[in-house]
Amino acid sequence: MSAAERIARERDFHNQRFVENNATRESPTRRFYDAIAYGFEEFRARVTQLSRGHCVLEYGCGDEIMAFDLAHTARQVTGIDISDVAIQQAQAVASERNLPNVKFVVDNAEDMRFADRSVDVVIGAGIIHHLDIPKSLQELRRVLRDGGVAIFAEPLGHNPALNWFRNRTPELRTPDEHPLLVRDLRQMTRAFKSSRVTFFGLISPVLGLMSPTVNPKSWVTQFVWSLDRALCRIPLLRRYAWYCYFELRA
């Protein structure tokens, strides 16, 4: 399959997804994302810290848009996505909220229309594993200014239990998705001057099996999250986590 065909398939899948009722689509797996929420909270806090006062590109903004949260602290935020439906919806919200420093445009993450060295920070969640990694790395290096940083949260592909679930729920994802492997992380870190990777969601997804709702304030949740953090620091275990977030410094 050519790159153009792959991109078109991704666009069509996500256009359909954004037209449909997202709440209904997400309900079967929402509890498991809640079970690893501490990692996403840490990721978003770091995004906010890095973006303050800077020109930010949200790479593959989709419907989990971070740009709105950064509107009052970043200098400028531009969100891109291959889905024109997602961009129309996002732009409508930005206009409704009167956010003049936030805009959204349809663009191909592997061949962006941004000028060289035009952004300070690139952010994204669940986007890299949809892309051709070498092409996306080339584009990220091209648009980032010297000293700029890219920060992403992405799913990993080493856990047999997670892969079993993925194989049995193909309707929840595109056929071109490829959760990241350790070799992908190494490829990304080698492409930049410095990097940092944080893993999360090794044992905490079990909280989603224990209850249809996850109470982040309960002692059980807090205990499991603390244990999850500790286990995800062990090199031989952390690759089996569900997610990681990583910073790449240009």
pLDDT in tens, the chain (250 residues): 565 565 555 555 545 555 554 544 456 789 999 999 999 999 999 999 999 999 999 999 987 799 999 999 999 999 999 999 999 999 999 999 999 999 999 999 999 999 999 999 999 999 999 999 999 999 999 999 999 999 999 999 999 999 999 999 888 888 889 999 999 999 999 999 999 999 999 999 999 999 888 999 999 999 999 999 999 999 999 999 999 999 999 9
- Strand residue runs (E) in the chain: 55-59, 76-81, 102-106, 119-125, 144-155, 194-200, 243-249
d(Cα 73, Cα 214) in Å, to the nearest integer?
Answer: 30
> Residue 186's domain is classified under what CATH number?
3.40.50.150
pTM, rounded to two decimals: 0.90
Smallest CA-to-CA distance from 126 within 61, 172, 57 is with 61
Provide the domain count of the chain.
Answer: 1
**Range of 245's domain?**
3-249
